[in-house]
Structure 1
Amino acid sequence: MSNIISVIIPVFNGQTTIKETIHSILEQTFTDFELIIINGDSSDSTLEIVSHIQDPRIKIFSYPRANVAVNRNRGFHHSCGEFITFLDADDLWTRDKLESQYTAFQENPQAGVVYSWSHRIDENGKFLRKCSSVYWMGDVYEKLLLDDFIGSGSNVMIRRDIFTLVGGFDESLTNAQDTDMWLRLSAITDFICVPKAQILYRMVPNSMSSNILGLEKSNLQVIHRAFTHQKAESYQNLKPQAIANLYKYLCYKALDASPGKQNTLVTTRFILIAVITDPSLLIKPIIWKATLKLLVMTLLPPIWVNVLFTKFPRFSNTSTFLGYEKTV
């Protein structure tokens, strides 16, 4: 007898978090699932840790190392569930995530995707901040053109036939494969929201999302592709806003680097492009705050900057960039 839901975890050298991540699945209130772990040639103790967790719902497969899109697709090919959901090896779920999203499908049979809200946590599991908490339902294609409000690849649950229809994740993308997937899904199916935070998205230094130039390249590629889709024909006026939103996000990410590890030239370019694509930023305090923060990070020794930012946390917080992302 097959399980209703297939949970897929791609992992590479995840020894510090994988056990906690797996337990957040095994402790779900909804129990009719299979857990497929795709080990991408880990060289640490990941495989040993996973192998010692005894549960008949766990299936482990090892492959040569590849990007997350490839490994998610590998997991899908091993799956048999009517619904598919993914969890990154350093993220967590609340205990009711599967049950809430499955119930949403039962109540909305026309929908192909269910998403929840997210919180960001640090590498030690400490709460950092809330992520997007929008409540957009039905045809969300126009919304996603401007903003990836889903937040992470650990969020959505997808009907198997819909995932098959879009052809899985784009394996040529090393970043932004999540945004690309949500856009392709929203072009053909309705989205449903579970209005509570059920995904704990861990911010880890040197993670894929910290590759700022990779984020820029892949996101620009996804934006240009999305606006060539037939469904975007009547939304062409939104493309400049989409690019402006991207650079506001990149400004935030670049300025969120640890003092001494920031790329001053790249960050300066992001700030300039953000202003060029959205001149209204020139009259917003955030642009001057961001410029001053970058100057401080560039000119002062990192130890001084850390002391300054600890004493004046509001000065160092440039997440306001995200609040200026324009939506419809």
Structure 2
Amino acid sequence: MLIKAPLDSTHIDYLKNIGILSSNEEVTDSFKAGEGNMNVTLTIKTNKRTIVLKQSRPFVAKYPQVPAPLSRIEIEYKYYNIISPDNFLSCFSPKVLAFDKKSWLLVLEHLNNGGDYLSMYQSKSILGENVLDLLLSYLKKLHQLPVYEFPDNMEMRKLNHQHIFVLPFQSDNGFNLDDVQDGLQTLSERVKNHTPLKAKIKGIGDKYLGRGKSLIHGDFYPGSWFETDNGLKIIDTEFSFLGDPEFDLGVMLAHLKMARIPNESIQRVIQTYPLENGLISSYMGVEILRRLFGLAQLPLNLSIVEKEELTNDAINLIMNEEI
């Protein structure tokens, strides 16, 4: 059954029949929980508690024209389960209350007074050094977790691969970037016509599709960092798989750079978590370019001149592999 707000009697009966709601639980309110990209996410208030329902569709919720695997919600469920024995990592996750595979429905605790960090692109001061240290500590602990078996999540990785490593660099990708900002389409030609750069990006993308040794979050950017009354939470783990820890770190650093976090802070992160610098640099550069020229746009408060500078920096990161 497809869940939508407001819940009607059919939805409520279904949730009671599968044990998500108890027989004496009355729904008092239900509404969309934020602007999720991948899944339908609802907040449900009852006479006893508040919970969150996440349900996958055979397409991306924000972009219905983009097909996506239903099984992604099970990946998120398995991620939370596999890190739950670790006391440090589990305190960053919302509690899993139930999972119904038949309807691809995940039930999570409601995070009180929560909000993501997407506003950091407008105000870099939102991301304090203490939060940055927590994010880095989380990644270190996650990547060191002894995980030997986890779904390869290949359907989601292929979807991500297309939107990170392929489509933003195709001249005929159907994205009219001038609808985002005047001059952005012309700026994108700098990378679309850069043959050595595209060859390098293809190689990095091939590596992304390979199997690594570390459990990674797979989408470690400000939209997945959630501040609540109970501290920082890390959410939206449907892109997770066994891969390169450099991917998570490179994505994180790319967003710090796009938010104009001081370079001193970026260098401190790199020095505090030494990995393969060339690979971090490559993933970082690609993430910047795909966010500038791909479908998944960010609320960047940047002029076209500033985006040109970012483009040049990203090209150098990829071609020279130096951070």
TM-score of the alignment, normalized to the shorter chain, above 0.5: no
TM-score (norm 2): 0.33
